[in-house]
Structure 1
Amino acid sequence: MKASAAMSKYETYKDSGVEWLGKIPVHWKLIRLKNAASINPSLNLKNYESNDHACFLPMEKVESSGLVDYGLQKPIKELKRGFTSFRRNDVIIAKITPCFENGKGAFLHSMPTDVGFGSTEFHVLRSFKGFSSSFLYYLSKTHFFMDVGEQLMIGSSGQKRIPTDFLVNFLFAAPSFEEQTAIAHFLDQKTAQIDAAIAIKEQQIALLKERKQIIIQQAVTRGVGFDFAQPTDSDRSLSEVEGNSVPMKDSGVEWIGEIPAHWEVSRLSIIADVIDPNPSHRNPIYHLEGFPFISTVEFKNDDDIVLDTSRRVTESTVLEQEKRCRFKEGSLVFSRKGTIGAVRILPNHMRFALLDSLCVINASDKVQYHFLYLQLQSFFVREQFHSIVRGAALPQVSIGVVRLLKILIPPRNEQAAIVIYLHEETKKVSNAIVIQQQQIEKLREYKTTLINSAVTGKIRVTPEMAIAVGSP
């Protein structure tokens, strides 16, 4: 892809007088957004019947990429009060944190109904004559729009919003309508190409994660001698693959089949303590200072817990959980609500408290905590609770269900060998995933830079360029 720095520029620039804009093409004009679009306009519904259907867009239907799921429609009579209204070709921008910072918003050019309704956490722009809605949408995706909006957010922590005044008074440089149209069309084509490249890499990551799960599943249910490259019959033992005969037995679990005969099948509660950190299920009061409060929001990548959370709690909350949970090196945390089955090794270098949707698992001497951590990630374990919650609106399992999970227990020396093997094998896959993620990040940075450069006039986009981008 051609870097924006290598693209042509306008012949003459002038100082915009606006710090975040810098120099702009000499024929572009500074304008406030209120003079380019109606902001949060009303919607006249007199030409619509109350039973007519309109698209309904909760926040989750709008992606940061600008894609919109228009599949949900409802009668207008159910939507005309209590929701934000908009028309086809309007621009919507998320106003609340973190949706605004994440870039949630869309140009509603392909909305299948003439009118729509959505979350009250959207601002709406309706362009005036002489201004391109698509250009204004890309304006809302620029660094300077996002940065200034974030600085001017108002409200309490976790509920901050960009005020209407920010949109009303926002200054930007506007080219002619023809140039706006060319820039928007150019960006439509280029960003579509970038998004397609990102989608391919995301598919590759999904396949790599699936491969990682297969490696873990095979190792924790068969042992480290299993040959992943060669299929084997279910009635052949692990060691027969390597030429050594080890007896096998039925695991008693339909989707697992046979396991080495000297392995045990145990309940989690027999080989570990499973503890509810907050049996009262009353969330503590959050503070700006204090100790990290961990939920699955802090679960990052496949194995990490990021503790730079904005939610903090007092030492009394931490002390209460420390007494109850008896945290130690190798304590595991397991999610039993929402993202069921997500598991992490808790840090032992700092103090924290846990959300009540999590439970703590302290392994006994019979099982290495690293081995238990790996087995809890396996399909063998996850299928046990997925079969219980499948189809539930809010998936959750009780502490009792977690305690009854079946766990496969090889001798400790085999556990150690499996842990070492999986550390090496999954590291290869994880490294491949990181490479794909880094490439995705570079593509996203390129996309943002391209939008910034085109919308602020740092590169010159001609109608011919817009046509050329879309040509074969």
Structure 2
Amino acid sequence: MANTVAKYQKYAEYQDSGIEWLCEIPSHWFLKKHKYIAEFSKGKNPELLFDNYSDGLYPYLSMDSLRGKADSKYAEYKKGLVLVQDNQPLIIWDGSNSGEFVLGRKGLLSSTMASACLIYEIQDKYYWYLCVCIEPEMRKHATGMGIPHVNGEELRGIVLPLPELNEQTQIANFLDYETAKIDHLIEKQQQLIELLKEKRQAVISHAVTKGLDPNVPMKDSGMKWLGEVPKHWSVSLIKYQCREITDGAHISPELENGEHLFISIRDIKEGVINFEDTLLTSEKSYQYLVHTGCKPFAGDILFSKDGTIGQTAITPSNINFVVASSLIIIRPNYFKVISEFLDLLLRSDVVQEQVESFVKGAALRRLSIQNLLKIWGVFPPIDEQEKIVEFVLFQLDKYKVLEDKAEKQVELLKERRTALISAAVTGKIDVRNWQAPTVAEADTEFSA
């Protein structure tokens, strides 16, 4: 925090708050318990949800819909449900993100969140920034062995620092402007990350369908969506280039006395299998799954078919594990295709678009093995596959370095944002003399 707040002056006099997380506050500020500032109402799930809006219905506010990760559902307001207003502060009550505050919009609140209703005269944006400030305390004091929950007593009992209303407004205006600047920088970095991902995908898709030689003779693939491919490449269903295509366990594995790795889609990210936090299954369950073909061999490709569809990873050597039914095991015929090339082909646009056309389900998206067997690909000779893989992986590594740098910058900016909010609403910096820039000055700062 020191670097973030160093350019701002401090207040002239401070008093000890007597609270560990808060430390000192300006001598003219006062303290008030949260329960005397806001009341919280836990959401409740409607009995019936509708896919489409009609008169009299309200959006159903799930966490995914608020984050833009899922389409809104709709429900009728009935007694006992919690109706949220635009920009009303909400707290995630249950789950891995419990203790996080979000701004709501008009709608009916899900059971995993609670809404804050102000019962004390406080500047609303200042209160929102206070909520952001106490998130670490809410997370630290979450309860529950499996699924974390907000500690209601801690939420209501936490003591908040308050200046007079006019100073609250000044602090809120300062934070509105400064956080908007930081958010603008974050957005630019996120746009860069998306651009790099698009470039990475373009490199893969072009290399595995057109090759590396721009002057190679081409032929019509016979498929409109594929276009021309190198004349000496073969076009075939992917299944004809493989020894076997099967999926994982269709039973619930025994987890008691677990000692063998049980991999599911949640353990795969960006082509890498995370063996650190995976589930463990019993010896009996493991042997059954091995016997029924759920243990991949080194070089096999895992392909996700449920939920997040199309994620891939190559099975490493010297690690034994079995897989869940959410993963398809694709075993290449090494006389026809190498694992690394097939993995890139499965990640390419030409395959992903075919896969998407076969996906079923809205709530839980699924791809059947039968439909994966209908996917087409293009295959160069083995020696050319090896050259393509070497070229593509080199290019991807370069883009990954740039992506990692941009993501690190995003994290630093987020930390800076959080630190600035905390410093302002706890009185570690004095912004009473801050003046909002003119429109011209603001335009200059935001365009930098």
Question: Which TM-score band (shorter chain)?
Answer: 0.7 to 0.9
Q: Which amino acid aligns with 2:408?
A: Q
Q: Which runs of 5+ in 1 are unaligned?
A: 44-50, 227-237, 240-245
The answer to whether structure 1 residue 341 and structure 2 residue 280 are counterparts is no
Q: Secondary structure at the match of 1:265?
A: strand
Are the aligned partners of 1:277 and 1:359 in contact in 2 as well (CA < 8 Å)? yes
Q: Quickly say closer, same or farther: Cα 1:7–1:225, change in 2 above 3 A.
A: same
- Specify which of 276, 282, 285 is matched with residue 247 of structure 2: 276
- Specify which of 354, 357, 360 is matched with residue 323 of structure 2: 354
Residue equivalent to 1:208: 196
The answer to whether structure 1 residue 321 and structure 2 residue 313 are counterparts is no
Q: Quickly say closer, same or farther: Cα 1:69–1:308, change in 2 above 3 A.
A: closer
Q: Distance in 2 between matches of 1:224 and 1:70?
A: 39
Render the CA deviation track for 1:156-189: whole Å, top value 9, x for unaligned: 41x2211322211112222222222222222222
Are the aligned partners of 1:381 and 1:407 in contact in 2 as well (CA < 8 Å)? yes
Q: Secondary structure at the match of 2:232?
A: coil
Residue equivalent to 2:47: none
1:312, distance to aligned residue in structure 2 (A): 4.3
Are the aligned partners of 1:85 and 1:117 in contact in 2 as well (CA < 8 Å)? yes
Q: Distance in 2 between matches of 1:333 and 1:70?
A: 26
Render the CA deviation track for 1:349-400: whole Å, top value 9, x for unaligned: 5444433221111212121101111111111111212223389554321111
The answer to whether structure 1 residue 105 and structure 2 residue 102 are counterparts is yes
1:136, distance to aligned residue in structure 2 (A): 2.5
Q: Secondary structure at the match of 2:436?
A: helix
Q: Distance in 2 between matches of 1:425 and 1:160?
A: 41
Are the aligned partners of 2:294 and 2:322 in contact in 1 as well (CA < 8 Å)? no
Q: Between the two proteins, what is the percent identity of the paired residues?
A: 31
Are the aligned partners of 1:220 and 1:418 in contact in 2 as well (CA < 8 Å)? yes
Are the aligned partners of 1:331 and 1:362 in contact in 2 as well (CA < 8 Å)? yes
Q: Distance in 1 between matches of 2:290 and 2:230?
A: 38
Q: Which amino acid aligns with 1:368?
A: I
Q: Distance in 2 between matches of 1:41 and 1:100?
A: 13
Q: Which runs of 5+ in 2 are unaligned?
A: 45-54, 443-448
The answer to whether structure 1 residue 123 and structure 2 residue 114 are counterparts is yes
Render the CA deviation track for 1:215-235: whole Å, top value 9, x for unaligned: 111111122223xxxxxxxxx
Q: Which amino acid aligns with 2:11?
A: Y
Residue equivalent to 2:378: 408
TM-score of the two chains, using structure 2 as the length reference? 0.85
1:407, distance to aligned residue in structure 2 (A): 2.3
Are the aligned partners of 1:90 and 1:133 in contact in 2 as well (CA < 8 Å)? no
The answer to whether structure 1 residue 80 and structure 2 residue 71 are counterparts is no
Are the aligned partners of 1:27 and 1:175 in contact in 2 as well (CA < 8 Å)? yes
Q: Quickly say closer, same or farther: Cα 1:408–1:197, change in 2 above 3 A.
A: same
1:31, distance to aligned residue in structure 2 (A): 2.0
The answer to whether structure 1 residue 380 and structure 2 residue 368 are counterparts is no
Q: Which amino acid aligns with 1:303?
A: G
Residue equivalent to 1:233: none
Q: Quickly say closer, same or farther: Cα 1:445–1:357, change in 2 above 3 A.
A: same
The answer to whether structure 1 residue 136 and structure 2 residue 140 are counterparts is no
Matched residue count: 426
Render the CA deviation track for 1:139-166: whole Å, top value 9, x for unaligned: 2222xx3333223322341x22113222
Q: Quickly say closer, same or farther: Cα 1:254–1:152, change in 2 above 3 A.
A: same
Q: Quickly say closer, same or farther: Cα 1:431–1:89, change in 2 above 3 A.
A: closer
Moved over 4 A (4+): 51-55, 68-75, 285-293, 390-393
- Specify which of 169, 184, 187 is matched with residue 175 of structure 2: 187
1:253, distance to aligned residue in structure 2 (A): 2.2
Q: Distance in 2 between matches of 1:17 and 1:460?
A: 21
Q: Quickly say closer, same or farther: Cα 1:438–1:13, change in 2 above 3 A.
A: same
Q: Secondary structure at the match of 2:415?
A: helix
1:26, distance to aligned residue in structure 2 (A): 1.9
Q: Secondary structure at the match of 2:6?
A: helix
Residue equivalent to 2:52: none
Q: Secondary structure at the match of 2:434?
A: helix
Q: Quickly say closer, same or farther: Cα 1:351–1:446, change in 2 above 3 A.
A: farther
Residue equivalent to 1:47: none
Bigger mean CA deviation after superposition, 420-429 or 87-96: 87-96
Q: Which amino acid aligns with 1:138?
A: Y
Are the aligned partners of 1:10 and 1:459 in contact in 2 as well (CA < 8 Å)? yes
Are the aligned partners of 2:296 and 2:321 in contact in 1 as well (CA < 8 Å)? no
Residue equivalent to 1:235: none
Q: Secondary structure at the match of 2:308?
A: coil
The answer to whether structure 1 residue 260 and structure 2 residue 230 are counterparts is yes
Residue equivalent to 1:306: 274
Q: Secondary structure at the match of 1:387?
A: helix
The answer to whether structure 1 residue 164 and structure 2 residue 152 are counterparts is yes
Residue equivalent to 2:66: 62
Are the aligned partners of 2:246 and 2:330 in contact in 1 as well (CA < 8 Å)? yes
Q: Secondary structure at the match of 1:130?
A: coil
Are the aligned partners of 1:57 and 1:70 in contact in 2 as well (CA < 8 Å)? no
